[in-house]
Structure 1
Amino acid sequence: MNDHSVGVEVDATAKWLEERGLSGAARLLRRVARQRDDAVSQLGLRPGAGPAYPAAGTEHTAPRDLDAAAETAMLRTEVARLQALAERAGWVPDRNAKRMWRWRDGWWELGYHRRNPKAGYHDTGWYLWGPVGSYEGEYVDRRKGPALDDAERLIARYRAAIGEDRR
């Protein structure tokens, strides 16, 4: 990692995106996180302390604090907006026409593969991968439309099971 840390979760997610050929999304995620970190650093705020508490040894001035609070609030709003757009997007096609991505409670991939038992593909069609402990290459359907519908059903079932386990 470089000296402008973007955070463990952001960096891990960005690396995951790059491994799957989504380098543009990874760059955007890192850039937004870096802007947030730079703003906090430039404003002399302690991370997590909020905009009303300048770091020790900095002079407390009302206009600067108001500007800092506005800048911090704007960056947090932009990050939240980016996350909400990614979650609402549903299935997003990859540049590879035989792959779809989705982000909601973890990354999901729906990929088309030809029959190849040696590689684990016993049928030609769409296979679903999800977060650890969910689906890892499960056959969904031969056609794209029904595969998307079945994937939504499987994801909903997985999320319901996880919700029940957490109670």
Structure 2
Amino acid sequence: MNNRSVGVEIDATAKWLEERGMVGAAGLLRRVARQRDDAVRQLGLRPAPPAHQGGGVERPAPRDLDAAAEAAMLRTDVARLQALAERAGWVPDPAAKRLWRWRDGWWELSHRRKNPKDGYHDTGWYLWGPVGSYDGEWVDRHKAPAMAEAERLITAHRAATGGGQR
């Protein structure tokens, strides 16, 4: 997914996953991050100096090539993990009437009863998304049409923010 490092929010994301009963996904995320950190530490990754410094083109050491290969493999593994999470679709939460979805960030679709005091003016399914997207928007009264409408809204949001381009 894009070119962002996984490490910035690993612990927060893993804790978030654990709180929602997705312990396996949290463990996998931590393991991939640990492997990436080990590869970076082993490599001592450092940018190569420009060719005009030092009088010529330097050949990378075998250790640097191994590290670069390891880093590329980890980036590929993370991209596969994210692709699998996207293909999984809406996953039920252990809590009643709540679904989770990964599409360039976590999305929540949950059923709420009418309660204007809490901001729920209709009984039905509401959509929450990553920062800057949806924050408790009513989608539909019934689950199947709500899931379809949520997919449409997520796709429209990703297209508007450039998140749909890979």
Confirm or deny a common fold (TM above 0.5): yes
Which residues of 2 match residues 2-151 of structure 1 at below 5 A?
7-41=7-41, 43-46=42-45, 49=47, 62=62, 67-151=66-150
1:146/1:13 Cα in 2 relative to 1: closer, same or farther (>3 Å)?
same
- Structure 1 residue runs of 5 or longer lacking an equivalent are 1-5, 51-59
1:68/1:155 Cα in 2 relative to 1: closer, same or farther (>3 Å)?
closer
Query: 1 CA distance for matches of 2:124 and 2:17?
Result: 23
Code of the aligned partner of 1:121: Y
How much has 1:33 moved relative to structure 2?
0.4
Code of the aligned partner of 1:84: A
- Structure 2 residue runs of 5 or longer lacking an equivalent are 1-5, 49-59
Query: 2 CA distance for matches of 1:95 and 1:20?
Result: 7
Query: What residue is the counterpart of 1:54 in the other structure?
Result: none
How much has 1:20 moved relative to structure 2?
3.8
Query: 1 CA distance for matches of 2:110 and 2:90?
Result: 12
> Is contact 2:10–2:30 with CA below 8 Å preserved after alignment?
yes
How much has 1:95 moved relative to structure 2?
2.3
Code of the aligned partner of 2:27: R
Query: 1 CA distance for matches of 2:80 and 2:151?
Result: 23
Secondary structure in 2 aligned to 1:122?
Answer: coil
RMSD, aligned α-carbons: 2.7
Query: 1 CA distance for matches of 2:103 and 2:110?
Result: 17
Query: 2 CA distance for matches of 1:157 and 1:37?
Result: 35
Query: What residue is the counterpart of 2:52 in the other structure?
Result: none
Query: 2 CA distance for matches of 1:160 and 1:73?
Result: 27
Higher RCO (C-alpha 8 Å, min separation 6) = 2
> Is contact 2:32–2:78 with CA below 8 Å preserved after alignment?
yes
Query: What residue is the counterpart of 1:158 in the other structure?
Result: 157
* TM-score normalised by structure 2 residue count: 0.71
Identity of aligned residues (%): 75
Query: 2 CA distance for matches of 1:114 and 1:154?
Result: 22
Moved beyond 6 Å, runs of 4+: none
* TM-score normalised by structure 1 residue count: 0.71
Query: 1 CA distance for matches of 2:66 and 2:134?
Result: 46
The number of aligned residues is: 146
How much has 1:97 moved relative to structure 2?
4.3
Secondary structure in 1 aligned to 2:29?
Answer: helix
